[in-house]
Amino acid sequence: MTADVVRATTAGAPELLPGAPRDSLLLRNRADAVYRWTLTALALALPLLLVTILLELTLGAGPSLERFGWKFLVTSVWDPVAEVYGAAPMIFGTLASSFLALLIAVPLALGVAIFLTEFAPRWMRQPVAFLVELLAAIPSVVYGLWGIFVLIPFLRNVVVPPLRAALGWTPFFEGVFYGNSMLAGGVILAIMIVPYIAAVSREVLLAVPGAQREAALGLGATRWEAVWTAVLPYGRAGVIGAVMLGLGRALGETMAVTMVIGNRHDISLSLLEPGFTMAAAIANEFSEATTDLYLSALFEVGLILFVVTVVVNALARLLVWRVARGAAVGSKAL
Amino acid sequence: MIGPRVRRRIGSALMTGVVVTLCILAVLPLLFIFGDLVAKGASSIDWHFFTRSPVPAGETGGGVANAIVGTGVIVGLACLVGLPIGIGAGVFLAEYGSGRLGWLVRFVADVMNGTPSIVIGIFVWTWLVKPLGHFSAMAGGFALAALMIPMIARTTEEMVRLVPHSLREAALALGYPRWRTSLTVVVRTALTGIVTGCLVGIARVAGETAPLLFTALGNLNFSTNVLQPMQALPLQIYVYATGPFDEWHRLAWAAALVLMGLVLTLAILARWATRQRYGAR
Question: What DSSP designation does A330 have?
Answer: T
Q: What integer pLDDT is reported at residue A168 of this predicted model?
A: 82
Report the alpha-carbon distance of residue A114 to residue B21 in Å, rounded.
12
**Selected residue of A141, A261, A305 to mutate for chain B interface (largest B Cβ count, 10 A):** A141
Closest-CA residue of A relative to B11 is A224
Does position A5 have pLDDT exceeding 60, yes or no? no
Instruction: Tell me the average pLDDT across A5-11.
Output: 43
Q: What integer pLDDT is reported at residue B4 of this predicted model?
A: 82
**Ranges of each domain in chain A:** 2-66, 87-323
Q: Is A107 part of the contact surface with chain B (CB cutoff 8 Å)?
A: yes
pLDDT tens, residue by residue, B4-22: 888 888 989 999 999 999 9
Q: Which of A109, A141, A328 minimises the CB distance to B209? A: A141
pTM of this structure: 0.89
Confidence of residue B279 (pLDDT cuts 50, 70, 90): very low
Report the alpha-carbon distance of residue B250 to residue B43 in Å, rounded.
9
Q: What integer pLDDT is reported at residue A133 of this predicted model?
A: 86
User: Could you tell me the sign of the dihedral formed by the alpha carbons of A70, A71, A73, A79, in that order?
Assistant: negative
Question: Where does residue B232 fall: left (phi above 0), alpha (psi -120 to 50 degrees), or beta otherwise?
Answer: beta
Instruction: Tell me the average pLDDT across A218-228.
Output: 90
Q: What integer pLDDT is reported at residue B278 of this predicted model?
A: 52
Closest-CA residue of A relative to B126 is A56
Does position A97 have pLDDT exceeding 80, yes or no? yes
pLDDT tens, residue by residue, B192-242: 889 988 998 999 999 999 999 989 888 888 888 888 999 999 999 999 999
Give chain A positions within 8 Å (CB) of B101. Answer: 40, 43
Q: What integer pLDDT is reported at residue A333 of this predicted model?
A: 37
Does position A55 have pLDDT exceeding 50, yes or no? yes
Residue A306 to chain B, least CA–CA distance (Å): 7
Residue A302 neighbours by CB under 8 Å, 6+ apart = A57, A60, A61, A278, A282, B118, B119, B122
3-state secondary structure string, chain B? CCCHHHHHHHHHHHHHHHHHHHHHHHHHHHHHHHHHHHHHHHHHCCHHHHHCCCCCCCCCCCCCHHHHHHHHHHHHHHHHHHHHHHHHHHHHHHHHCCCHHHHHHHHHHHHHCCCCHHHHHHHHHHHHHCCCCCCCHHHHHHHHHHHHHHHHHHHHHHHHHCCCHHHHHHHHHCCCCHHHHHHHHHHHHCHHHHHHHHHHHHHHHHCCCHHHCCCCECCCCCCCCCCCCECCHHHHHHHHHHCCCHHHHHHHHHHHHHHHHHHHHHHHHHHHHHHHHHCCC
Report the alpha-carbon distance of residue A246 to residue A200 in Å, rounded.
9
**Selected residue of B119, B174, B183 to mutate for chain A interface (largest A Cβ count, 10 A):** B119
Neighbours of A278 (CB within 10 A): 30
Does position A44 have pLDDT exceeding 90, yes or no? yes
**Interface contact A224-B12, CB threshold 8 A:** yes
Question: Where does residue A170 fall: left (phi above 0), alpha (psi -120 to 50 degrees), or beta otherwise?
Answer: beta
Long-range contact list for A115-123, CB < 8 A, 24+ apart? A115/B19, A115/B20, A115/B22, A115/B23, A116/A198, A116/A202, A116/B23, A117/A202, A117/A205, A117/A206, A118/A205, A118/A223, A118/A227, A118/A231, A119/A223, A119/B16, A119/B19, A119/B20
**Interface contact B26-A228, CB threshold 8 A:** no
Question: What DSSP designation does A18 have?
Answer: T
**Interface contact A52-B123, CB threshold 8 A:** yes
Confidence of residue A24 (pLDDT cuts 50, 70, 90): low
Does position A2 have pLDDT exceeding 80, yes or no? no
Specify the range with the lowest mean pLDDT, choosing from A144-148, A186-190, B113-117. B113-117
Residue A28 neighbours by CB under 8 Å, 6+ apart = B177
**Ranges of each domain in chain B:** 65-278
Q: What integer pLDDT is reported at residue A58 of this predicted model?
A: 95
Give chain B positions within 8 Å (CB) of A28. Answer: 177
Q: Which of A35, A191, A309 minimises the CB distance to B179? A: A35
Round the average pLDDT of chain A to a whole number and report it. Answer: 86
- The residue type at A7: R
Residue A88 neighbours by CB under 8 Å, 6+ apart = A73, A74, A75, A76, A267
Does position A64 have pLDDT exceeding 60, yes or no? yes
How much of chain A exceeds pLDDT 90, in percent? 54
Q: Is A146 part of the contact surface with chain B (CB cutoff 8 Å)?
A: yes
Does position A14 have pLDDT exceeding 60, yes or no? no
Q: Is A282 part of the contact surface with chain B (CB cutoff 8 Å)?
A: yes
Give chain A positions within 8 Å (CB) of B23. Answer: 108, 111-112, 115-116, 128
Instruction: Tell me the average pLDDT across A165-178.
Output: 86
Report the alpha-carbon distance of residue B38 to residue B48 in Å, rounded.
18
Neighbours of A270 (CB within 10 A): 18
The answer to whether residues A249 and A151 touch, using CB atoms and an 8 Å cutoff, is no
Confidence of residue A164 (pLDDT cuts 50, 70, 90): confident
**Interface contact B117-A286, CB threshold 8 A:** no
Q: Which fold has domain A87-323?
A: MetI-like fold (1.10.3720)
Round the average pLDDT of chain B to a whole number and report it. Answer: 89
Instruction: Tell me the average pLDDT across A80-102.
Output: 92
Does position B48 have pLDDT exceeding 80, yes or no? yes
Does position B70 have pLDDT exceeding 90, yes or no? yes
Confidence of residue A325 (pLDDT cuts 50, 70, 90): low
Give chain B positions within 8 Å (CB) of A131. Answer: 27, 30
Q: Which class in CATH covers the domain with range B65-278?
A: mainly alpha
Confidence of residue A331 (pLDDT cuts 50, 70, 90): very low
Cβ-Cβ pairs closer than 8 A, A with B, add up to 276
Q: What integer pLDDT is reported at residue A91 of this predicted model?
A: 93
Which candidate, A334, A330, A333, places its Cα nearest to that of A207? A330
Q: Which of residues 23-52 of A touch B (CB under 8 A)?
A: 28, 31-32, 34-36, 38-40, 42-47, 49-50, 52
Q: What integer pLDDT is reported at residue B267 of this predicted model?
A: 84
Residue A136 or A6, more confident: A136
Q: What integer pLDDT is reported at residue B224 of this predicted model?
A: 84
pLDDT tens, residue by residue, B153-188: 999 999 999 899 899 999 999 988 888 999 999 999
Closest-CA residue of A relative to B157 is A328
Give how far Cα A49 sits from Cα of A132, A280, B97, B146, B270, Å: 31, 23, 19, 8, 27
**Selected residue of B95, B111, B231, B275 to mutate for chain A interface (largest A Cβ count, 10 A):** B111
Q: What integer pLDDT is reported at residue B52 of this predicted model?
A: 84
Q: Is A291 part of the contact surface with chain B (CB cutoff 8 Å)?
A: no
Instruction: Tell me the average pLDDT across A162-187.
Output: 89
Report the alpha-carbon distance of residue A49 to residue A57 in Å, rounded.
12
Confidence of residue A22 (pLDDT cuts 50, 70, 90): low
**Selected residue of B9, B14, B16, B19 to mutate for chain A interface (largest A Cβ count, 10 A):** B19
The answer to whether residues B253 and B37 touch, using CB atoms and an 8 Å cutoff, is yes
Specify the range with the lowest mean pLDDT, choosing from A10-14, A249-253, A304-308, B248-252. A10-14
Does position A231 have pLDDT exceeding 60, yes or no? yes
pLDDT tens, residue by residue, A273-309: 999 999 999 999 998 888 889 999 999 999 999 999 9
Q: Which of residues 207-266 of A touch B (CB under 8 A)?
A: 222-225, 228, 245, 248-249, 251-255, 259
